[in-house]
Amino acid sequence: MSELAYLDVASASALLRSKKLSPVEYARALIERVEKLDRNLNAFLRFTPDLALEDARKAEAEITRGQWRGTWHGVPYALKDIVDYAGLPTTAHSKILRDNVARADAAVTQRLRGAGAIFMGKLSTHEFAIGGPSFDLPWPPARNPWNRDHFSGGSSSGSGAATAAGFVPAAIGTDTGGSVRNPASMCGIVGLKPTYGLVSRRGVVPLSFSLDHVGTMTRNVRDNALMLDLIAGHDPADPGSANHASGGYTAQLDRDIKGLRIGVIRHFYTRDMQADPEMAQGIEHALAELARLGAEVREITTAPLDDYVACNRTILTGEAFAIHEQWMRERPQDYGALARERLMAGAFVRAADYVNATRLRRKLTEQFHACFAEVDVVVTLSSMDPACRIDDPKAVEYTYARQSRAPFNVTGSPALSVPTGFSSAGLPLSMQLVGRPFSEALIYRVAHAYERATRWHERRPPLEV
C-alpha cells in the first residue's frame, strides 16, 4: 500500500498502460490508506470510495480493450470542495452551502473525467476559501501530515494534506492570495498558480473574480506539468479565460539551466519582512544550488511587498463582499467566525479605494513585468515561516499574513512553490519561482533541475510510525 501511495503520475501511467498495474488495485490501495490514516488528518471532506472503484473498473475495462486515453487514464485525483463534481455537494466547507448539489462538472473536472482519471472525493478547504483553519464549521480543518498538530496551510488545505500524505498523487486547488502555494509550502509539495486565465474557473465557487486562479498540486514537478497539460486551455464560458495557446509544459523539463538569468527578490524576506532564519537559509541554499547548476543569479528590486499586499487585500475583500453580501445580510450566523470577520471587512471598502487599487494593480503589474527584460525567472520566498500549530489562533493569524504570494495574484504571473528542505523541527521549507505570463514551461524547467539536484521531494511524512 505504501509503495503505491507514493507512485508519481508518470510512473503510475506507464505501469497502467502496460497492464503491470491494475487501476482497481491502485484505487483500492489508496482507499485503504485514506481509511486508515485520514481520521487523523481530515484531508477529505467527502471521501467517495464507491465512485473511485466505479471509475477504476471502467478504466480497467477500457485499458484491457486497448482504449488508452492518455497519461491520466486510471490515475487517482481529488478536488478542493469549491470545485463542482456533478451530483455531489459543493459545500465550500460551509453550512451556507451544505446542501448545494452541483448540477454539472466544473471545467477542470470535465477534463480529468474525460481523461479517465479516478475521482477519490472532495477535499477540505477554508470556508469559502477565506475563513480558516476553523473549528466552528460542520467539518474539521485539515491537518499537516508532517505533524498533525500543525497547520497544513490554506485555503487549499485538504489538497495539500492529501497529496503529501499519499492519499492521491495530484489534487486541484485554487489560489486568490496564495491558497495553492501556501499549503504546498506547509506540506512540502509542488503547487502552481498558473497565469491568470490559463485554467478555466467555470464551476468553481468564486472568492474574487479578478484574482481567482485554479491550480495544480502534486508531489513533484513533472507531475505538476502533466496536470497543467491536461487542465489548461481557453474556455469561452469563463469571462476571465485567456485565449492563449496552452500545452507542452513538460517539453523543457530535461534541459539544463546553464545561462538562465534568475532574479532574486531578496528584499521581500530581508527588508520588507524578516523571514524565519531557517526558511531564509533554505532559499539561500537553493539559490546557491541554482548557481552551481549554471544559472546566473542576481538580485533585483521591485515595489515594496506592502504595496502588493495592500492592493491584493483591497481588491479581494471588496470583490468577496460583493459575492457574499446577500448571505451576509440574511444568514450571518451560518458562517464560521473567521470567514464572517474576513468577509465583513469588504463592506468597508469604498468605491474610491477599489478603483485606486485597480489603478495601482496595473502600475505594479507593468513594473514587475518589466523585470523580465533583465531576467528569465524570478525567485523569492513563498511563506516566511514553517507551519505553526493549528490550535494557536494568534500564531496562525500571524504566520498567514507573513508571505510573499499575494504579489503574483496582483500581477497574474505564474508562480510555483517547491520544497527547499526541512526545518530543525522536521517541517517543510519552500521557495517560489515566478515568470512572465504564460512561461510555465520555463518555470518548470528551473524547478525540475533544482528538484533533481536536491531530491527533497522524495522525503515522506512519518504517517506509518
- Report the distance separating Cα 110 and Cα 128, nearest Å: 22
Whole-number pLDDT of residue 2: 64
Q: Which spans in 331-439 are helix H?
A: 337-344, 351-370, 393-401, 406-411
Mean pLDDT in order along the chain per 10 residues (465 residues)? 88 97 98 97 98 98 98 98 98 97 98 98 98 95 98 98 98 98 98 98 98 98 98 98 97 97 98 98 98 98 98 98 98 97 97 98 98 98 98 95 98 98 98 98 98 97 78
Query: Which residue in 94, 155, 156, 417 is the catalytic one?
Result: 155
Whole-number pLDDT of residue 1: 53
Specify the DSSP class assigned to residue 427. Answer: -
Strands 296-299 and 147-151: unpaired
Query: Which residue in 22, 80, 122, 208 is the catalytic one?
Result: 80
CA dihedral (191, 159, 425, 403) positive or negative: positive
CB 442 within 8 A of CB 252: yes
- For residue 294, what are the contacts with CB-CB under 8 A and spacing of at least 6? 256, 257, 258, 259, 260
**SS3 for 387?**
coil
Q: What are the angstrom distances between the C-alpha of 139 and each of 43, 207, 420?
A: 10, 20, 32
Specify the DSSP class assigned to residue 181. Answer: H
CB 43 within 8 A of CB 151: no
* CB-CB neighbours of 369 under 10 Å: 14
Whole-number pLDDT of residue 3: 86
Query: Which residue in 157, 179, 404, 417 is the catalytic one?
Result: 179
Q: What are the angstrom distances between the C-alpha of 67 and each of 18, 63, 122, 324, 364?
A: 12, 5, 28, 45, 49
- Structural domains of the chain in order of their starting residue, each with its CATH number: 2-458 (3.90.1300.10)
CB 88 within 8 A of CB 31: no
Specify the DSSP class assigned to residue 269. Answer: I
**Is 179 marked active-site?**
yes
- For residue 359, what are the contacts with CB-CB under 8 A and spacing of at least 6? none
Backbone Cα Rg of the chain = 20
